[in-house]
């Protein structure tokens, strides 16, 4: 059921033991929004815990209180009266779903979120879930400590490509401005987020070597095979290197994360790539979307290129 922000805040006010989670393959918005919410809810006297069912890339481990995040173990249960799912629909939280049967409160900004298994507050215009969590904090009268602000700013910055993408609105910058007043050091966050390991930079070089162009150079794609992909854990930012090609509308990156398991990222300047991702079982936003294809890399590429061809 769709609810309002005030209703979402009321659900939180009424709960005492809150399990907070977000999507697998967590990004800055997933980690930033869950950690910020954890700190706020604890400051309000709630018993709260973050569980994420995946590893977290090293850059994001620099966020304050990162060590509080737990990964569910097999058969584990968590005593909660609310399951708060941020930045995704409930189908992408992995085994966190098995930790509790508590009612779901889902807060998200993805157009592809059609969750109807609980209460959903979704704001498509919000640049990041962190932007919504900031508004929730105001509704809840929760204090925004420098640590909370740092987490929220990270989600805003990473989901907007550091305030460059089309989802950057006046409101986004107004929230960022408030967060800086609350103690954020923007350069600290930028420096942490841009760090790459040597293996990642070499992986980027290999990815660029695989560049292929399709449909009169309107589509650019890169692939990373398993042998290369297993040497590093993040491809953050790789796709942006080919999105910039002047003729390109749609850019894609396919990473073979395990044999027959391909992670697809897409970026666009016009075409709605969330529709393409949705058709292939994934989701996302108009200009940034993704999906997972359980098949060999060459087959995944064929299917993806055909699906993009239909859309452009």
x-marked contacts with ligand AMP along 237-276 as a string, rule CB under 6 A: ----------------------------x-----------
DSSP 118-129: SEEEE-TT-SSH
User: What CA–CA distances, in Å, run from 51 to 31, 54, 144?
Assistant: 10, 9, 22
In degrees, to the nearest 5, what angle opens at C-alpha 23 toward C-alphas 165 and 98? 165
The DSSP secondary-structure symbol of 287 reads S
39-98 positions binding Mn ion, by CB under 5 A? 87
Q: Helices 146-159 and 129-140, interaxial angle, to 10°?
A: 150
Compute the C-alpha angle 262/226/112, nearest 5°: 20
Closest approach, Cβ 159 to Mn ion, in A, equals 5
The verdict on 56 binding ligand AMP (CB under 6 A) reads no
Q: Which one, 30 or 293, has the nearer CB to Mn ion?
A: 30
Residue 108 interacting with Mn ion (CB under 5 A): no
Cα–Cα distance between 147 and 127 in angstroms, integer?
20
Torsion of CA 94, 274, 226, 93, to 10 degrees: -10
Q: Does 236 bind Mn ion (CB under 5 A)?
A: no
Tell me which of ligand AMP, Mn ion, none is bound by residue 30, counting a contact when its beta carbon lies within the kind-specific cut-off of 5 to 8 angstroms: Mn ion
Binding test (CB under 6 A) with ligand AMP, winner from 72, 155, 221, 283 = 283
Among 38, 50, 175, 291, binds ligand AMP (CB under 6 A): 291
Tell me the closest approach of the beta carbon of residue 128 to Mn ion, in angstroms. 5
Q: Is 131 in the site for Mn ion (CB under 5 A)?
A: no
Query: Which residues contribute to the site for Mn ion (CB under 5 A)?
Result: 27, 29-30, 87, 128-129, 159
């Amino acid at each position: 059921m769709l609810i309002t922000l005030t209703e979402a805040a009321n659900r939180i006010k009424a709960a005492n033991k809150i399990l907070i989670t977000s999507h697998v393959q967590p990004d800055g918005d997933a980690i930033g929004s869950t950690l910020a919410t954890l700190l706020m809810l604890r400051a309000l006297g709630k018993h709260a815990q973050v569980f994420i069912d995946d590893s977290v890339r090293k850059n994001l481990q620099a966020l304050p209180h990162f060590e509080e995040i737990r990964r569910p173990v097999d058969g584990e249960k968590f005593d909660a009266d609310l399951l708060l799912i941020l930045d995704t629909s409930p189908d992408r939280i992995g085994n966190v779903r098995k930790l509790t049967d508590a009612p779901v409160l889902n807060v998200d900004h993805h157009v592809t979120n059609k969750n109807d298994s609980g209460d959903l507050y979704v704001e498509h215009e919000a640049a990041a879930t962190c932007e919504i969590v900031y508004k929730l904090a105001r509704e809840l009268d929760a204090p925004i400590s420098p640590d909370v602000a740092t987490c929220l700013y990270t989600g805003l910055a990473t989901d907007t490509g550091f305030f460059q993408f089309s989802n950057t609105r006046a409101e986004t910058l107004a929230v960022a401005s408030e967060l800086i007043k609350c103690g954020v050091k923007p350069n600290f966050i930028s420096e942490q987020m841009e760090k790459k390991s040597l293996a990642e930079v070499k992986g980027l070089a290999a990815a660029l070597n695989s560049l292929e162009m399709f449909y009169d150079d309107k589509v650019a794609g890169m692939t990373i095979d398993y042998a290369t992909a297993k040497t590093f854990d993040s491809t953050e930012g790789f796709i942006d290197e080919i999105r910039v090609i002047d003729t390109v509308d749609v850019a894609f990156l396919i990473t073979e994360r395990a044999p027959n398991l391909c992670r697809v990222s897409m970026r666009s300047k016009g075409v709605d790539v969330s529709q393409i991702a949705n058709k292939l079982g994934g989701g996302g936003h108009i200009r940034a979307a993704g999906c997972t294809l359980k098949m060999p890399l060459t087959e995944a590429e064929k299917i993806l290129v055909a699906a993009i061809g239909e859309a452009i």
